[in-house]
Structures are given as structure tokens and as C-alpha cells.
Amino acid sequence: MLCTRLTNARILTMDPDHPVAHDLGIWRGRIFGLDEAVTHLPAREVVDLHGATVLPGFIDSHVHLAWAGLKAATPDIAPCTRVEDVLAVIGEAASRQAPGAWVDVAGYDQRALGRHLTAAEIDRVAQGRRIFLMHDSGHACVVNSAVLDLLPPEVPHQDGFLAESAMSAVRRLRLPYSQEELADAIERAGRTCLAEGITACAEAGIGGGLLGHSPVELGAYQLLRDQGRLPLRVQLMAAGDTLRPRASHRDDGIPRALDLGLRTGFGDDWLSLG
């Protein structure tokens, strides 16, 4: 018995020999067959789509699920076009954290303001917190003096604005996030993907680089899979700086290897490393 049969639909199969189908059978979460192969099979649920078009799930080849999920739960200054309004959002976010805590703020783009914010401006509302404004590009940030004071003197910045490797130096101060935090963020972003029709993706860089969140970040994905909470299929790209020298046999040809918190049982058709 099928779990579900979709009927009275226009199903685009991507198969040149059978480009359009009208019935589709599903068994244990997988497509079992099309049209005459399933039309007369019993099913626990039959869904009449009244001629609606059914597409294969989309695959996004470059995503940052943890970043997107954390951003979705972070105070956002994107609607603001005045410096005063941005500072008000930062001040409100800072007031909800303990002194000395990190305060993440999303949605920063200097084009909305006509210029970059400065560390001195952020200091006025920081209330002793460490403020981190992530640029929407993911390749830059603006921080306040409390963060600049923690950086080595050789890290370049422009009045609190840091880009690329300089931003990475700031993020190293902020990290790591816990696997529970990351799992919640990944699930949040994954469910947003599903709502847009994305059913599989490639996570572009975990464990290091510009947008890694923990040296054992992979464990957050495995935690979701173990708990049945991983919303879509994911292929994980390990950031280049997660490869470390390893004393393997010279004939193995593996001078560097991963150190991501891999453990026994990792990997299935929903979660893989690529």
C-alpha cells in the first residue's frame, strides 16, 4: 500500500521519455512510481490536485544555513535609513544583554545610510557590550571599541569597519556557538528553504572560514538528523582551514585531513559530506 498518491496533477518529471505525469505514488518518503504504475494501487491518502503543476524540489548549490537561521532570530536594522534609527536598534538590543556580552545585529548595509557607521557612534549606545554588526554580504562587519580593543594591533580596520580576513579575526573572538544554538538556527533556515520549494542544498563552508560557527559545526547537523529535525537534504562543504596536517602513511596521499567532530554513524542520503 502506498503512503500517498497524488492524482489529477501536471507533474513535471524531468524525464525526456516521460516528461509529464498525472499520478504519482509515494512510499516511505520516496517516489514509488508514476501514472499506470501507481494509478490502481491502494494508498492511505489520496490527494486530488485539481490540475495543479508539481515540480521536483529545487536544489540550492550555495547556502549558509546557520548564518541565515541565526540572522532570522537577530535584531535587524535593514529597514533603517537613518543613523539615529540604527543606533536606537543597537541600543535596544544591547540593553537586553549583560554587560560585557556580545550583541549581534543583522541587516547592515552602508548604502542605506550613505556611509559606514563608526565605532565611536556605536560606543554611544553600546552600554559596555561588544557590538557586532554583520554586513549583509557576509564579508564585512562593523564593531565598537570594546571589540577593537580585543583585536591584535595588526588587524586593519577603518573606524570599526572590517572586511574579509579582518572580519574573520573578529569572528574568532565571538566563536564558538553551541551545537544546540546552531541546530536551532539550521532548522529555522531549513524550514524557510522548504517553504520556497528547496528540498536539497549545499552548505558552503562549515567549521571555519568566513562563516563557520564552531570547529565541530558538523555535529549540529548530525544532531538534527538524529532527532528527526533536519528539514532538507544537505551536502556539507568543509572550509579549507579545517584541513589539518596529519601523520598518515606516505602511500596514503593524505597529508591533511578533517577535524570537524566526525563520529561513528555519520552520513546518509539526507546528510553527506562533499
Same domain, 15 and 84: no
pLDDT for position 258: 75
CA distance 93 to 98: 11
Give the residue from 144, 174, 204 where a domain finishes.
Answer: 174
Count how many domains the chain has: 3
> Amino acid identity, residue 45?
E
pLDDT in tens, 96-107: 999 999 999 999
3-state secondary structure of 34: strand
Same domain, 211 and 241: yes
**C-beta separation of 222 from 267 below 8 A:** no
pTM for the full predicted model = 0.83
Quote the DSSP letter at residue 36.
Answer: G
> 39 in a domain, yes or no?
yes
CA distance 31 to 165: 45
> Amino acid identity, residue 6?
L
Same domain, 170 and 183: no
pLDDT in tens, 89-146: 999 999 999 999 999 999 999 999 999 999 999 999 999 999 999 999 989 999 999 9
pLDDT for position 269: 83
3-state secondary structure of 220: helix
Helix axes 218-226, 179-195, angle to 10 degrees: 70
Same domain, 15 and 97: no
pLDDT for position 96: 96
Phi-psi domain of 269 (left: phi exceeds 0; alpha: psi -120 through 50; beta: other): alpha
Strand order in 140-143's β-sheet?
A: 102-108, 130-135, 140-143, 161-163
Q: Which domain holds residue 266?
A: 179-273
- One pLDDT digit (tens) per residue for the chain, 274 residues: 999 999 999 999 999 999 999 999 999 989 999 999 999 999 999 999 999 999 999 999 999 999 999 999 999 999 899 999 999 999 999 999 999 999 999 999 999 999 999 999 999 999 999 999 999 998 999 999 999 999 999 999 999 999 999 999 999 999 999 999 999 999 999 999 999 999 999 999 999 888 899 999 999 999 999 999 999 999 999 888 888 888 888 888 888 887 677 666 788 888 888 7
Same domain, 146 and 187: no
Give start and end residues of each alpha helix (H) in 45-133: 65-72, 83-95, 110-113, 119-126
pLDDT for position 264: 67
